[in-house]
């Protein structure tokens, strides 16, 4: 019985030490995020800004822009689309993408809102991405033609936006404000680099 109590105490101590270590790591990560020092994390396929050797390369933070659009437009039911998921719906392959941040949002219509923002690897990739997204808008319009005139009209109104290697598709009733936010983010990036 004494041995069991000792073993239990040892296990509880180990759990406490590991919990404190985990909390310490979390606080350290939180502290690093609140400082003005560059991040040292590696790029992820979730739309984070591209980074090289721990410093950002001046890319637009598309993930932050995605979060801003979701909040500003009042979306409550969204599904993020990571870079790996772009191929199945849009035909955009991971080798064409430096970073991306995309999502679908249920809005109570036949078609969900589809927002795709991509930083392409180069001008040729950007042109191909834009072509694929334009085809997607055409496909939505064609599908909606027989039973959802509002979605058809929206798909015809929305255009793919290209600025340098940045490409955006905003199939949403918030199209105008999303395009404005996207272009402002890309313009701010260009201004910082000049």
Counting residues of the chain whose pLDDT is more than 90, the rounded percentage is 64
Q: Mean pLDDT, the chain, as a whole number?
A: 79
Q: Give one DSSP letter per residue of 35-66, joined into a string.
A: SSSPP-PPP-TTSPPPEETTEE-S---HHHHH
pTM above 0.85, yes or no: no
Sign of the torsion angle spanned by Cα atoms 141, 142, 143, 149: positive
Q: Identify which has the larger pLDDT, 142 or 34.
A: 142
Place of tokens 């793919």: 160
Planar angle of CA 12, 16, 19, nearest 5 degrees:
135
In contact, 154 and 34? CB cutoff 8 Å: no
C-beta atoms surrounding 69 within 10 Å: 24
- 8-state DSSP, 166: E
Average pLDDT score over residue span 47-69: 67
The average pLDDT across 176-194 equals 85
Two tokens at 190?
A: 């260009």
User: Which pair of structure tokens corresponds to residue 133?
Assistant: 């997204």
Sheet of 113-120, strands arranged across: 78-81, 97-105, 113-120, 166-171, 161-163
pLDDT of 188 reads: 87
pLDDT higher than threshold 70 for residue 7: no
Q: What is the mean pLDDT of residues 12-16?
A: 47
Q: Is the pLDDT of residue 84 over 90?
A: yes
pLDDT at 189: 79
What was the pLDDT predicted at 109?
83
pLDDT tens digits, one per residue of 154-167 = 999 999 999 999 99
Structure confidence at residue 149 as a pLDDT band (50, 70, 90): very high
Range scoring the smallest mean pLDDT among 30-39, 64-73, 106-115, 125-134: 30-39
């Amino acid at each position: 019985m004494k041995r069991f109590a000792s073993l239990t105490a040892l296990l509880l101590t180990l759990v406490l030490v590991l919990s404190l270590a985990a909390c310490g790591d979390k606080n350290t990560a939180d502290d690093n995020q609140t400082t003005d020092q560059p991040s040292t994390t590696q790029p992820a396929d979730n739309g984070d800004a591209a980074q090289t050797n721990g410093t950002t390369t001046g890319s637009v933070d598309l993930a932050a822009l995605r979060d801003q659009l979701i909040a500003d437009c009042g979306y409550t039911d969204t599904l993020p689309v990571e870079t790996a998921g772009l191929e199945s719906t849009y035909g955009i392959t991971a080798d064409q993408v430096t970073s991306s941040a995309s999502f679908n949002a249920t809005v109570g219509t036949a078609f969900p809102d589809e927002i795709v923002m991509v930083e392409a690897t180069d001008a040729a990739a950007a042109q191909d991405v834009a072509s694929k997204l334009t085809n997607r808008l055409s496909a939505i319009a064609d599908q909606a033609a027989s039973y959802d005139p509002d979605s058809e009209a929206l798909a015809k109104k929305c255009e793919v936006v290209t600025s340098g290697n940045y490409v955006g598709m905003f199939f949403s009733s918030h199209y105008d404000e999303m395009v404005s936010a996207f272009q402002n983010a890309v313009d701010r990036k260009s201004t910082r680099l000049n």
